[in-house]
């Protein structure tokens, strides 16, 4: 078959996600690769894994690979979008007439396109911090945000009259991830910048962002884990670094618990569990969990580097300078981003 229907695509991507969370990164990529030019969800999943890899290594070749794969993913998603694209006819989309004309596949194409665009923008910033890339990235982010906003309105208008089938909940999960992440990220910006961004149509409502992400995380869509990870990053890193209040470790624990049950050896899950232990002051428990995380897989060394960084600080807090030095030394030899 040269075409994969939406239901099968979502099922395969769910299998790939399970492989990924079980540390089988190459297998997840191999499952997604054959259809990555012909199915929007395969394209999104395949390119997302490569973007994550690039974000963790900061190696120029990984960043280039991530950008070129994301370009292809955008082209794949574009083929499934309604011909007059959402951004070209923003005013039309939210009219009832146009919403009814959007097929299920086209609704999903919008959300996948917005997700790809956002990731490509993020990589553009990382690739080279010059002004042209900054403007390019900014325009992509604005386009992505506009699509999410329109999709959110589509969701609100169709909530009553769509038969609630599985694919609809998947679309809903995508919207909650986008609206939630955007509002949360923008709310962290300084007030002056946020007021300027709100003037050109962005919204930085932290409570709305957290609420959308919580709803997305509690659902059963493919994006539930991404909503969970976004909330975990916020509670265990962002709120502490930016001083936006106490880290909500109780929520972080309850978000992570079902995944710890399902993926007890998943390195990304173990990493967050160890990070929460550090924040609780359970240093010995955190050290054991980081060691488990390192032992769980050998394929993505960059996850080891994240563990080394945390272990270095963990031993520093305990004034075990020799062990702290050991991990700092490992990082300086093996990792690019820590230099």
The span from the CA of 181 to the CA of 138, in Å, is 16
Q: What b-and-e string marks burial along 276-302, b requiring 16 or more CB atoms within 10 Å of the CB? A: bbbbeeebeebbebbebbbebbeebeb
Q: What is the mean pLDDT of residues 260-265?
A: 96
Position 87 pLDDT exceeds 80: no
Position 33 pLDDT exceeds 90: yes
- Asked if 136 contacts 124 with a C-beta cutoff of 8 angstroms, the reply is yes
Residue with the bigger pLDDT between 46 and 56: it is 46
DSSP type of residue 102: S
pLDDT digits (tens, 9 = 90+) for 135-187: 777 888 888 999 999 899 888 887 766 566 778 889 999 999 999 999 998 88
pLDDT at 97: 40
Cα dihedral 127, 332, 53, 222 sign: negative
Position 129 pLDDT exceeds 80: no
Whose structure tokens read 């884990």?
225
Entry field: residues in the chain: 339
**According to DSSP H, which parts of the chain are helical?**
6-21, 25-32, 40-57, 60-80, 90-93, 96-101, 104-127, 131-158, 166-187, 191-199, 206-218, 224-233, 239-241, 249-262, 267-280, 283-296, 301-317, 321-334
- Enumerate residues 6+ apart whose C-beta is below 8 A from 147: 86, 87, 110, 111, 113, 114, 117
Confidence of residue 85 (pLDDT cuts 50, 70, 90): low
Q: What is the mean pLDDT of residues 76-103?
A: 64
A 10 A CB-CB count for 144 gives: 22
**The tokens of 65 are what?**
């690979």
pLDDT digits (tens, 9 = 90+) for 270-285: 999 999 999 999 999 9
pLDDT at 327: 96
pLDDT at 121: 83
DSSP track, 293-307: HHHH-SS-HHHHHHH
pTM: 0.89
- 39, 89, 324 from 78: Cα distances, Å: 11, 15, 49
Whose structure tokens read 């230099």?
339
pLDDT at 136: 78
**Which CATH number does 264-339 carry?**
1.25.40
């Amino acid at each position: 078959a040269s075409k994969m229907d939406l239901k099968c695509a979502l099922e395969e991507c769910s299998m790939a996600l399970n492989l990924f969370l079980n540390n089988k990164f190459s297998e997840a990529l191999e499952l997604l690769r054959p259809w990555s030019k012909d199915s929007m969800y395969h394209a999104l999943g395949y390119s997302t894994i490569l973007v994550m890899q690039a974000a963790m290594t900061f190696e120029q070749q990984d960043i280039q690979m991530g950008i070129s794969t994301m370009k292809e993913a955008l082209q794949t998603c574009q083929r499934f979008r309604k011909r007059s694209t959402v951004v070209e006819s923003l005013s039309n989309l939210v009219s009832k007439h146009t919403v009814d004309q959007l097929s299920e596949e086209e609704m999903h194409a919008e959300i996948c396109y917005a997700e790809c665009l956002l990731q490509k923008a993020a990589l553009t910033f990382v690739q080279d911090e010059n002004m042209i890339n900054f403007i390019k990235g900014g325009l992509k982010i604005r386009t992505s945000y506009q699509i999410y906003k329109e999709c959110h309105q589509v969701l609100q208008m169709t909530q009553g009259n769509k038969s609630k089938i599985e694919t609809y909940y998947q679309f809903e999960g995508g919207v909650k991830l986008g609206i939630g992440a955007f509002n949360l990220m923008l709310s962290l910006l300084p007030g002056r910048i946020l007021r300027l961004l709100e003037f050109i149509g962005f919204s930085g409502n932290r409570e709305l962002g957290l609420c959308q992400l919580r709803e997305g995380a509690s659902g059963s869509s493919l994006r539930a884990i991404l909503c969970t990870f976004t909330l975990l990053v916020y509670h265990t890193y962002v709120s502490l670094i930016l001083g936006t209040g106490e880290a909500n470790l109780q929520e972080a624990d309850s978000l992570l618990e079902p995944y710890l049950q399902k993926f007890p050896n998943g390195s990304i899950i173990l990493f967050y569990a160890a990070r929460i232990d550090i924040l609780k002051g359970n240093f010995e428990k955190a050290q054991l969990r980081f060691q488990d995380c390192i032992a769980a897989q050998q394929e993505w060394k960059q996850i080891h580097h994240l563990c080394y960084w945390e272990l270095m600080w963990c031993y520093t807090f305990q004034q075990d300078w020799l062990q702290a030095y050991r991990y700092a030394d490992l990082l300086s030899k093996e990792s690019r981003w820590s230099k």
